Chain A
Amino acid sequence: MSTQHSRSAARIMIAPATFLLLAWMLIPLCMTLYYSFRRYRLLTPDRQGWVGFRNYENFLTNPAFTSALINTLVLVLGVLIITVVLGILLAILLDQPFKGQGIVRILVIAPFFVMPTVSALVWKNMFMNPVNGLFAYAAKAVGLEPYDFLSQAPLMSIIGIVSWQWLPFATLILLTAIQSLDSEQMEAAEMDGASALNRFWFITLPHLSRAITVVILIQTIFLLSIFAEILVTTNGGPGTASTNLTYLVYAESLLNYDVGEGSAGGVVAIILANIVAIFLMRAIGKNLDA
């Protein structure tokens, strides 16, 4: 009886969160769906009307769409790979005993607190600028031609900036996980003559799998909608070299002021995000036993 009672109490307690999120998802989604089938340009609002799938056609046949799709994938995967690999290495390093652990940890965590607009502005102007940036000075100091990061390798530069922001997150989760590793198991393996690499591969890595899963899941959620970094550094360019899906939808709705096509793009992006979500949940959800 008490379980019955607590069951219904539980439902009531979950209700507000569920209901709010449902409303938050559905109301704008319905409006977006509505606009996606209409002609609605902000600057000529008097010419409205139903246009069928025209907006979707335009968005999907836009040559920028394919490159935006690829860029989104490259961006997400690039940052994930960099942060997970470097995060593991860094976590192992920080797990060793050394002087000033607390301070180093404070230094490493710092980028996570920096707002994306600030980090993008700082990297763009003070580091990557080919004339007055620090990298340009460094290149000149050793007699090299300064490299123009944001126009020659825009996507890679953005991946670099975003990785810098997310590396602390990955490192800290992985570090906590490593610290929970059973040291007796490690010592036993060492006694048995397992090499450091083997120990890493057969003991540390499997132990980290759950933490890696969490890093991938959480970061993917945020990386899919990277926006400020692109807006500030490259405006999606040159051409569409650093335009991701989010930025393309933004460009359609707020640079072209074509709410119809922007909404169609929004719907497409939502569908794609859901595919990624389902895929992720399937692949990762088990590992999490949430």
Chain B
Amino acid sequence: MARAISKRRTVIVTILAWTIGLLIFFPILWTVITSFKTEAEAIADPPSLFWFNWTLENYNVVNARSNYPLHFMNSVIISLGSTLIGLAIAVPAAWSMAFVPSKQTKNILMWMLSTKMLPSVGVLIPIYLISRNLGLLDSRIALVVILTLINLPIIVWMLYTYFKEIPIDILEAARMDGASLKSEILYILTPMALPGIASTMLLNIILAWNEAFWTLNLTAAKAAPLTAFIASYSSPEGLFYAKLSAASTMAIAPILIMGWFSQKQLVRGLTFGAVK
């Protein structure tokens, strides 16, 4: 009898979970579907879910009008660049915070996080003027630097929570065995820390990819990433739902696919030490 109940329960849970999952996902699905419609079908009432003439026309239009490869490459360079530099700076910092904690560690960590609360817009004009004086307006370098700094606190914190979980006893045992600092890092710590670093990296790439304040305000054309690309489709002439959908799909597809593939790492990293 108990089995019957649990079986029925599983069915109910399955239906409920799938319904909610599909509801949450629906806006994205709808965007992708609309991107294959003609403009007229995109606003047809009643709307059609699958039964329409699928067309690639919108993608052609968007490709002809915008330099998608350029914006895509800019997004890749900016998000990857800022993430790698950020990791290079953050790994040693998080490392020493985790293994050689002092009284200030917690304060420094909290202070770093609080810098993330500063409203970007309050310092836009100063940053704009500095970039201009350095000749870095509309350059990827400026964006890489700024996004590195913006996301640094999150990187440090995530890495810190990871490193803290590494049992320190192992290190001591290794030292007893006469391992040098170099081999300590290379053969013992790195393998243990790598999953943490990987998931930090993934989260940070997503954050940088989607950052839409600095990337919009400090670029014109040459360094403009996909956030700027989508901005030019925000309300063009006349009917635009299908074109907007195509552009949106092109802007989010790369990161969505990457996110799905690396879901497991990402979820683990996302917990920010919240789960022990």
Q: Do A and B bind each other?
A: yes
B47 with A109: CB separation less than 8 A: no
A262 interfacial by beta-carbon distance below 8 Å: yes
A210 with B274: CB separation less than 8 A: yes
**What's the nearest-Cβ distance from chain A to residue B100, in Å?**
4
**What's the nearest-Cβ distance from chain A to residue B272, in Å?**
5
A285 interfacial by beta-carbon distance below 8 Å: yes
**Other-chain contact of B89, A17, A112, A254, A290 (Cβ < 8 Å):** A17
B110 with A281: CB separation less than 8 A: yes
What are the residues of chain B within 8 A of A81 when measuring CB–CB? none
B20 interfacial by beta-carbon distance below 8 Å: yes
**Other-chain contact of A107, B21, B112, B119, B123 (Cβ < 8 Å):** B21
Given A32-B123, A35-B125, check contact A17 B156 (CB 8 Å): yes
B27 with A164: CB separation less than 8 A: yes
The 0/1 profile, CB within 8 Å of A marked 1, for residues 67-100 of chain B is 0000000000000000000000110110111011
**What's the nearest-Cβ distance from chain B to residue A287, in Å?**
10
- Restricting to B209-236, which residues have a CB under 8 Å from any CB of A? 209-210, 212-213, 226-227, 230-231, 233-234
B263 interfacial by beta-carbon distance below 8 Å: yes
B121 with A13: CB separation less than 8 A: no
A246 interfacial by beta-carbon distance below 8 Å: yes
What are the residues of chain B within 8 A of A61 when measuring CB–CB? none
Given A104-B17, A115-B251, A126-B30, check contact A246 B117 (CB 8 Å): no
A114 with B123: CB separation less than 8 A: no
**What's the nearest-Cβ distance from chain B to residue A224, in Å?**
6
A177 with B117: CB separation less than 8 A: no
What are the residues of chain B within 8 A of A273 when measuring CB–CB? 114, 117-119
A122 with B248: CB separation less than 8 A: yes
What are the residues of chain A within 8 A of B268 when measuring CB–CB? 176
B125 with A262: CB separation less than 8 A: yes
B126 with A172: CB separation less than 8 A: no
What are the residues of chain A within 8 A of B260 when measuring CB–CB? 106, 109-110
What are the residues of chain B within 8 A of A9 when measuring CB–CB? 96, 100
What are the residues of chain B within 8 A of A149 when measuring CB–CB? none
A31 with B17: CB separation less than 8 A: no
Q: How far is the CA of A217 from the CA of B161 in the complex (A)?
A: 15
Q: Name the residue among A101, A113, A167, A249 with the largest chain B CB count within 10 angstroms.
A: A113
**What's the nearest-Cβ distance from chain B to residue A45, in Å?**
12
A117 with B106: CB separation less than 8 A: no
Q: How far is the CA of A29 from the CA of B268 in the complex (A)?
A: 35
A274 with B110: CB separation less than 8 A: no
Question: How many residues on chain B are close to A (CB under 8 Å)?
Answer: 94
**Other-chain contact of A172, B9, B17, B153, B270 (Cβ < 8 Å):** B270
B45 interfacial by beta-carbon distance below 8 Å: yes
**What's the nearest-Cβ distance from chain B to residue A29, in Å?**
7
What are the residues of chain B within 8 A of A103 when measuring CB–CB? 21
Q: How many A-B residue pairs have CB under 8 A?
A: 297
**Other-chain contact of B46, A31, A141, A267 (Cβ < 8 Å):** A141
The chain B residue with its CB closest to the CB of A6 is B100
A276 with B126: CB separation less than 8 A: no
**What's the nearest-Cβ distance from chain A to residue B34, in Å?**
7
B96 with A115: CB separation less than 8 A: no
A28 with B127: CB separation less than 8 A: yes
B52 interfacial by beta-carbon distance below 8 Å: no
B115 with A24: CB separation less than 8 A: yes
B193 interfacial by beta-carbon distance below 8 Å: no
A253 with B125: CB separation less than 8 A: yes
**What's the nearest-Cβ distance from chain B to residue A40, in Å?**
8
A245 with B119: CB separation less than 8 A: yes
The chain B residue with its CB closest to the CB of A211 is B274
The 0/1 profile, CB within 8 Å of B marked 1, for residues 160-191 of chain A is 00001001110011001100100000000000
User: What are 23 pairs between A and B in contact, CB < 8 Å?
Assistant: A17-B89, A24-B115, A28-B127, A96-B9, A103-B21, A111-B28, A112-B206, A115-B226, A117-B212, A117-B227, A117-B231, A121-B248, A126-B31, A134-B30, A173-B275, A176-B267, A177-B271, A245-B119, A249-B119, A249-B122, A269-B119, A277-B113, A285-B106
* A binding-site residues for B, Cβ under 8 Å: 3, 6-7, 9-11, 13-14, 16-18, 20-21, 24-25, 27-29, 31-32, 35, 90, 93-94, 96-101, 103-119, 121-123, 125-127, 132, 134, 137, 140-141, 164, 167-169, 172-173, 176-177, 180, 210-211, 213-215, 217-218, 220-221, 224-225, 227-228, 232, 245-246, 249-250, 253-254, 259, 262-263, 265-267, 269-270, 273-274, 276-278, 281, 285, 288, 290
Instruction: Please give me the 7 A-B residue pairs with the lowest Cβ-Cβ distance, nearest first.
Output: A266-B122, A10-B96, A31-B126, A28-B123, A13-B92, A10-B100, A214-B274
* B binding-site residues for A, Cβ under 8 Å: 9-10, 13-14, 16-18, 20-22, 24-25, 27-28, 30-31, 34, 43, 45-47, 89-90, 92-93, 95-97, 99-100, 102, 105-106, 108-110, 112-127, 129-130, 149, 152-154, 156-157, 160-161, 206, 209-210, 212-213, 226-227, 230-231, 233-234, 241, 244-245, 248, 251-252, 255-256, 259-260, 263, 266-268, 270-276
A97-B13, A98-B13, A99-B10 are known; give 4 further A-B pairs, CB within 8 A.
Answer: A7-B100, A29-B118, A98-B14, A221-B116
